[in-house]
């Protein structure tokens, strides 16, 4: 494939933007080479500046569950854009989107709209601390909750050791009240609460991890989380920015039957526009200003464009219910990738929940960051570029989930499996 125009666009971008990208996830750092620059999307496809077409399994890192340029979403945006894009004042659309979220996610009794997943998690953590009047937040290695200072941290020397910063610009003081544990480790979780239980304000986790590849929680782990947080008066926060309306209409919490106290959302909630939301128990949410004392604000929160796209997307998901189709396509792709890797003699494991999955170049079952980090990233990089040359666009890192949209077809999945088979054998 010719990528000359992408190369030229990247050269220009590097002169204007740090690293040439506005998010490191786009930089191809995990696969080498230069990122592709795209001109448009349509349904299940992306088209780059050089006119190459790709089956898209990124979907803007999750939001495009209906595919690109879905007519209901584009019509909603066209209808609102001529009336104004931001007022800095309330609109009825904000309440309509909030109601759709509350109806879909039973644990959410009230919801606040923000502008990104990072804002949602940052706000939920502040709210948990304000509500409990405690300081410590527990997170899990390999879970990503946005670029919040207190969560950009690495584990200490033991499971119950407070964290240290792993990004310049994050001060030790900011990170000192964050506790890092291993995902799916019930023993470590119990030890942390035994030692710090009266200081723990909340626990935040991805109920299906997407940021070290797709990693699935055990029933024992989720049950322990709910039991321990309840026992010690801590707030259980599900970060469903990625999984909300993705793995099911009610999110991962509806799949596993666990009720968190707070839920953060983003991506699909905005139908592809910048948006975030956090919601949960009424008594906790009523602590947010102006109902309560915990400050959070945003000039563009709930703006007409984002709410219009979000309302349109959630209504299509509710009324057309693409989830059985997404489950079938996900199962078809997972089985095909596993078979292709087996035929090629490549050590692997595949993890999947609904339309979200990862092919790990790793024979060890992936249950946490320790096991995920054993993956053969060089082998993945070769596989990634093999797919690119065959018109398939996978995430540019072994440690990112891929996403299927309702615009994909069984034929698209078969085409992808054939491309993966050739790439693995090449």
**Cα dihedral sign, 274-279-291-234:** negative
Considering the candidates 183, 267, 323, 399, report the single residue annotated as catalytic.
Answer: 267
Considering the candidates 239, 261, 368, 412, report the single residue annotated as catalytic.
Answer: 239
Determine whether 239 is an active site residue: yes
- The CA–CA distances, whole Å, from 341 to 334, 388, 419 equal 11, 17, 12
Q: How far apart are CA 84 and CA 104, in angstroms?
A: 28
Considering the candidates 144, 278, 323, 393, report the single residue annotated as catalytic.
Answer: 144
- The CA–CA distances, whole Å, from 359 to 73, 379, 401, 411, 417 equal 31, 11, 9, 20, 12
Please, what is the Cα angle at 180 between 125 and 200, to 5 degrees? 50
Please, what is the Cα angle at 207 between 206 and 209, to 5 degrees? 55
Under a CB-based contact definition with an 8 Å cutoff, are residues 301 and 294 in contact?
no
* φ/ψ of residue 192, rounded to 5: -65, -45
* Cα-based torsion angle of the residue sequence 38, 39, 42, 45 in order, rounded to the nearest 10 degrees: -30
Determine whether 267 is an active site residue: yes
Q: How far is CA 156 from the centre of its chain?
A: 25
Positions annotated as catalytic residues are 144, 239, 267
């Amino acid at each position: 494939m010719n990528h000359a125009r992408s190369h030229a666009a990247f050269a220009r971008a590097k002169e204007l933007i740090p690293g040439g990208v506005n998010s490191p996830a786009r930089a191809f750092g995990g696969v080498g080479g230069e990122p592709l620059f795209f001109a448009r999307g349509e349904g299940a496809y992306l088209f780059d500046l050089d006119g190459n077409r790709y089956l898209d399994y990124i979907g803007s890192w999750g939001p495009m569950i209906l595919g690109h340029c879905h007519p209901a979403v584009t019509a909603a945006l066209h209808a609102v854009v001529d009336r104004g894009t931001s007022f800095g004042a309330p609109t009825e659309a904000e309440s309509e989107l909030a109601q759709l979220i509350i109806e879909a996610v039973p644990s959410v009794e009230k919801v606040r709209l923000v502008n990104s997943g990072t804002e949602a998690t940052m706000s939920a953590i502040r709210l948990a601390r304000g509500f409990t009047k405690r300081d410590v937040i527990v997170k899990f290695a390999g879970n990503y909750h946005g670029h919040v200072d207190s969560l950009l941290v690495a584990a200490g020397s033991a499971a119950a050791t407070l964290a240290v910063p792993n990004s310049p610009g994050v001060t030790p003081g900011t990170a000192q009240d964050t506790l890092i544990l291993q995902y799916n480790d019930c023993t470590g979780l119990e030890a942390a609460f035994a030692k710090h239980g009266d200081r723990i304000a909340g626990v935040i986790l991805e109920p299906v991890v997407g940021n070290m590849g797709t990693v699935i929680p055990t029933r024992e782990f989720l049950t322990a989380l709910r039991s321990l947080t309840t026992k010690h008066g801590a707030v259980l926060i599900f970060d469903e920015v990625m999984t909300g309306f993705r793995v099911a209409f009610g999110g991962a919490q509806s799949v596993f039957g666990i009720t968190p106290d707070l839920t953060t959302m983003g991506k699909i909630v905005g139908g592809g526009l910048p948006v975030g939301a956090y919601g949960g128990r009424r008594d906790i949410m009523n602590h947010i200003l102006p109902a309560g004392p915990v400050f959070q604000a945003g000039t563009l929160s709930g703006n007409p464009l984002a709410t219009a796209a979000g309302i349109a997307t959630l209504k299509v998901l509710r009324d057309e219910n693409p989830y059985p189709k997404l489950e079938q396509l996900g199962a078809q792709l997972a089985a095909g990738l596993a078979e292709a890797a087996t035929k090629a003699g490549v050590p692997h494991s595949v993890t999947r929940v609904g339309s979200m999955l990862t092919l790990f170049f790793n024979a060890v079952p992936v249950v946490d960051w320790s096991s995920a980090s054993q993956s053969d990233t060089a082998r993945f990089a070769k596989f990634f570029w093999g797919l690119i040359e065959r018109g398939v666009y996978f995430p540019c890192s072994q440690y990112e989930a891929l996403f299927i949209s309702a615009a994909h077809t069984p034929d698209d999945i078969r085409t992808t499996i054939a491309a993966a088979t050739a790439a693995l054998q090449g």
